[in-house]
Structure 1
Amino acid sequence: MEPVGKPQTLRLMNMDAVEALLRTRGPLTKPELSRLTGLSLVTVGKAVDELVAQGRVLPAGPGGPTGGRTAHLYAFNRRQFCFLALYYYERRYTCALADAAGEIFCWEDVDIGAGPIVDETLDCIRRMRARAENIPLAAVGVGVPGVVSGGVVTSIPALPALEGVEFGAVLEQALDCPVWVENDIGLAAWGLYADRFAGETDHLAYLYFGNGVGSGLVLNGRRFKGSTDFAGEVGSLPAGDTTLEQAFLAARAARDREQICGLVRTAVTSLTCVLNPGIVAVKCDCLSPADMQRMEQQLTVPAGHRPRLVLLGDVRRQCLQGVLRLCMENAGTAAGI
């Protein structure tokens, strides 16, 4: 059944519905699109023709016969634009270029020099942009190790020059495309969920114990950031006379494995009691799979409510996937999709 509404709004909605199907299930013919969307063949034909005219959809050759006539296939134009994802870690950006469907086609680690971080970031973006194979850049996403609320970066000791800075807005002034900046661990959780755990649970917590302590949260299949984007900052939890983060850094320096296990277990227990995630994925190079199994058994949570603990290795790709999802979601919102 055709939807009811303003003609211009319906036209855009129909185009978005057709494009979304071609992106995920194409190439498809107009009759197939009509069947899958529930729109009339005439409506689908108009939507496809306009998408082709805008370069968002491409003809993809002949399909099968329909009623004595050969239908033509249409495909989503993956190279109509691209996204750039940057993920900061230890004076380095891990970078990826992805096509309009979010598929990565270029990956590189770029060391950060001694210059101001804004200039170094812009140099990195320009370097990656030169590798974009002349594909227009639609948006840039950046994951940073700090709290990002209202666009302003705070609590970022790894990059003190960004404290109190609206980093995305500063970068946008030097570029001709939108820039979105978010907390790195929250984006990593989103990427991990989409890449590894979406089929197992709708509630995921990602715990990071490294140069700092933090967590990213996915609840009901969506990122959860809290009222001021501070949700998941478990490093600020009390641990005796200090914070969990400070206690962990001290234990890591002393190579106190038991103390580290206890601190991780405290973070897992806190998240479980408040949020009840189905899986807690932990990134901590100090621990082994055997440590995780032991901690899972020692949780002071009733057995039926304990999350499954997963020890992670290299998560750079999942981190980048989270940044790319940020770009794609915001690009769609900015376009009114």
Structure 2
Amino acid sequence: MSDKAPTSPVSRERSREIKRLSVILAARQARRLSRVDLAEMTGLSAATVTALVRELVAEGYLIERGPGAPTTGRPREMLEFNPRAELVAAVSLEPPRISCEIADSEGAVIAHRVARLGANVVETVCEFVLDLVGDNLPSLRGVAIAVPGVSSNGAVRLAPSVGLVEAWPIGESVQRRLGVPVVVDNDVNLMAAGECVAGAGADVANLLLIHVADGIGAGLVLDGKVRRGASGAAGEVGFLPLGGATERRYSGVGEFEARWSVNAIAERVVALNPGRRPESPVRELSRLAATSAPARDYLDEVLGAWAGLILSCACVVDPGLVLLSGAAAELDDPALDQLQTLVSARTPAPTEVRRATLGDQAVLHGAISYALSAAVPRPSLP
């Protein structure tokens, strides 16, 4: 990177922002480094790095930690990136509740709140974030909102559980109110991103995450990027038809998820073993299948349906790895092995099936990743 200052005042300011950003990104990546390390990583001159470091120390981005380990010559003064200098808000709409967490750039949660979701979604989100971040508002770099529906450019639709069927610009409304970048995405996309950052998909660049809950959705990561499709509806596998043409209007609940989601499985489990609805229907079904032939038959049906879903996706996108999330992750080892066998017998390319590992924390890690990406300052345009 050239250190030569441009003549135009606008270009000079833009160049300065780029250099500042490169130092922040390098420090965030290395966490602990010297000014010499920063100069080598960014290509900036020692004088420029010194000036920027002085500024970033004053702002709290960097902390001076004194001399590092002895080396040849004079010991280098070390700098440490301060994760608390960059706070993000991770909001999850999980009807009938809303959860909000304020976390630093390393994922450490510093504030958390769960409450009933109000009628005005935007107002509720803004109140939560402002209350939790409190006096640390200047350090808030971005907000990520996970929604149980389709999101495109911050507008949400097909989310009947939060009263949103037609597109509504949640992201734009929250960003206008809070004054920080806001990203809105399907909750399962955030789960997939989270598993890639800190979970079962941390070692791969391509994966498909299937999340089974009241609905069924998928998050697709190809070449290290979450793929959303032309209108943000990629991964809405719950709408896959069960066979034959239909004139049914999509009201927010798909044919596949209506039959093979947690709610449907819970109804059958109660029919097989009358009583109260189990807290974990899939886990209970696996338990019943060990001693009940009807339960065993129904478990086979469930595994066959889920295997068919995985195969349908794998034949098109070849993810290589499929992560099971939500209720699907509750399958016991024999059932998981059976599902893997069903998939391996028919998939055109090797496809490994694993459990996702982060659980509820997947959305948090995905949201932090999203919010930090959205918060990366953009150079001013002339």
TM above 0.5, yes or no, is: yes
Is residue 104 of structure 1 aligned with residue 78 of structure 2?
no
Change (3 A) 1:171 1:198: same
| More off after superposition, 137-146 vs 327-336 | 327-336
> Aligned equivalents of 1:299 and 1:283: distance in 2?
17
- Which of 61, 73, 80 is equivalent to 2:78? 73
Counterpart-to-counterpart distance in 1, 2:119 and 2:169: 19
Q: Which entry has the higher C-alpha Rg, 1 or 2?
A: 2
Task: Give the one of 311, 332, 357 matched to 1:288.
Answer: 332
Alignment-mate amino acid for residue 61 of structure 1 = G
Q: After the TM superposition, which of the residue ranges 250-259 and 146-155 deviates more from structure 2? A: 250-259
Given candidates 3, 16, 21, the residue that maps to 2:21 is 16
Task: Give, in whole Å, the separation in 1 of the partners of 2:256 and 2:267.
Answer: 14
Partner of 1:253: 267
- Aligned to 1:82, which of 87, 103, 107? 87
Q: Which has the higher strand share?
A: 1
Partner of 2:215: 212
C-alpha deviation, 1:114, in angstroms: 5.4
Q: Could you tell me how far 1:319 is from its partner in structure 2?
A: 1.1
Question: Is this contact kept in 1: 2:103–2:111, CA < 8 A?
Answer: no
**Which piece of structure 1 moves more, 83-92 or 294-303?**
294-303
Q: For 1:246 and 1:172, how far apart are their aligned partners in 2?
A: 35
Q: Superposition pairs for residues 1-337 of structure 1, below 5 Å? A: 2=2, 6=6, 8=12, 9-63=14-68, 69-99=74-104, 101-113=105-117, 115-130=119-134, 136-161=139-164, 163-240=166-243, 243-249=255-261, 250-255=264-269, 256-285=298-327, 287-299=331-343, 305-312=349-356, 315-332=359-376, 334=378
Assess if the C-alpha contact under 8 Å between 2:143 and 2:371 holds in 1: yes
Classify the secondary structure of the residue corresponding to 1:310: strand
Which ranges of structure 1 fall in alignment gaps of 5 or more residues?
none
Partner of 1:315, secondary structure, is: coil
For residues 212 and 291 of structure 1, do their structure 2 counterparts lie closer, same or farther at Cα, with a shift above 3 Å needed?
same
In 2, Cα distance between equivalents of 1:285 and 1:20: 37
Distance 1:52 1:186, change over 3 A: same
- Summarize deviations over 1:245-287 as a string: whole Å, max 9, x none: 1221434422342332122111110111011112111124263
Cα deviation, residue 86, structure 1 = 1.1
Q: Mean alpha-carbon deviation: is it higher for 305-314 or for 141-150?
A: 305-314
Instruction: Tell me, in whole angstroms, the C-alpha distance in 2 between the residues paired with 1:138 and 1:153.
Output: 22
Unmatched segments (≥5 aa) in structure 2: 247-254, 270-297
The percent identity for this pair of structures is 26
Residue 315 to residue 107, structure 1, CA distance change in 2 (3 Å): farther
